Amino acid sequence: MHTSSFSISVPAQTAGKTVEEALRSEWKFGKKQIHAWRMNKAIDLNGTLTEWRTVLSPGDLLTIRLEEEEKPSYLPDPIDLSILYEDEHLLIANKPPHIDTHPNQPDASGTLANGVVHYLRQKGKTGYAQPIHRLDRDTTGTIIFAKHAAVKPLLDHALEQRSIKRTYWAHVHGDVSHSNGTIDQPIGNDRHHNSRKRISPTGQKAITHFRKIQFNQNQQTSWLELQLDTGRTHQIRVHLSSIGHPLAGDTLYGGKKTIHFPFQALHAVKISFTHPFTAQNIVIETPDPVKPGRFYKQTRK
């Protein structure tokens, strides 16, 4: 086993709480995890093993030692990365097109996650890197990775509670008639096509909000900004196709490839959330994919 650690600088709003209170109520660690740290004497305060009833002050440094397997989360693979944000606990990468978020088999490589593991190993880290959410193979943009096992469940919970907000840009065929709107249609499996989803009365609830940015007369496409209340597989692709405006380049759901849209024109342009340890509001934007095509060289009006 390989021992690693991470640190939390106590913010002002956490001051006055005991170590145990902060772990439980402020940072939302699970009871099982807290108990394990107590038994293993795994937490130091300002470099010294401390009593769990010690009251915290602003700027105190809690260091928590973790037991992690030596092997990384995935096989390391030296893939070019665009890192948008990084701290001791997490990083946000800008995913390029034509690459999966993570491998489906333990011994596979060539995905964004493999590249993040390689990047972290090069920095002397254990190689723990777990994506908190995913994007389809040809969708580009922001993805959060947990850098240690303790922060992952906190980020998972934030995603489940929809406190991690994601904004997308899409280019769709045709002139969308409304300046904004909401698509509220349940999504289920397509019995006739294993890789497709479809609108289904018995499917899972799915809600997509959109705002029209502009219409391109020459390309006959509309540029939309979207936000989701739910996170169903292929949600944006299914919903936009259902209203007669499939994503440009998305042949699976009725779109067509063109010189401007050689693959599905969907980009996760912004992500925002409250940092689980610092309580800072993190807002990360990436107006262009890693390898921007002509369809993203427009400027917002």
CATH number assigned to the domain comprising residue 193: 3.30.2350.10
In a domain, 95, yes or no: yes
Tens digits of residue pLDDT in 213-240 = 999 999 999 999 999 998 899 999 999 9
Q: What pLDDT is stored for residue 3 in this prediction?
A: 55
In a domain, 297, yes or no: no
Give the pair of three-digit tokens for residue 127: 């190689």
Ranges of the chain with pLDDT below 50: 1, 292-301
In a domain, 20, yes or no: yes
Question: What is the Cα–Cα distance from 73 to 126, expressed in whole angstroms?
Answer: 9
187 and 253: one domain?
yes
Tens digits of residue pLDDT in 223-282 = 999 999 988 999 999 999 999 999 999 999 999 998 889 999 999 999 999 999 888 899
- Is 136 a residue of the active site? yes
In a domain, 219, yes or no: yes
Domain count, the chain: 3
Range of the domain at 118: 83-161
Burial of residue 1 (number of CB atoms within 10 Å: 0-12, 13-18, 19+): exposed
Last residue within a domain, chosen from 114, 143, 161:
161
- Are 124 and 4 in contact by the 8 Å Cβ rule? The answer is no
In a domain, 236, yes or no: yes
Q: Which of 136, 138, 175, 184 is catalytic?
A: 136
201 and 259: one domain?
yes
- Are 273 and 233 in contact by the 8 Å Cβ rule? The answer is no
107 and 46: one domain?
no
Question: What is the Cα–Cα distance from 295 to 261, expressed in whole angstroms?
Answer: 7
In a domain, 279, yes or no: no
Last residue within a domain, chosen from 161, 176, 211:
161
Question: What is the Cα–Cα distance from 45 to 228, expressed in whole angstroms?
Answer: 40
Global pTM reads 0.88
In a domain, 298, yes or no: no
194 and 226: one domain?
yes
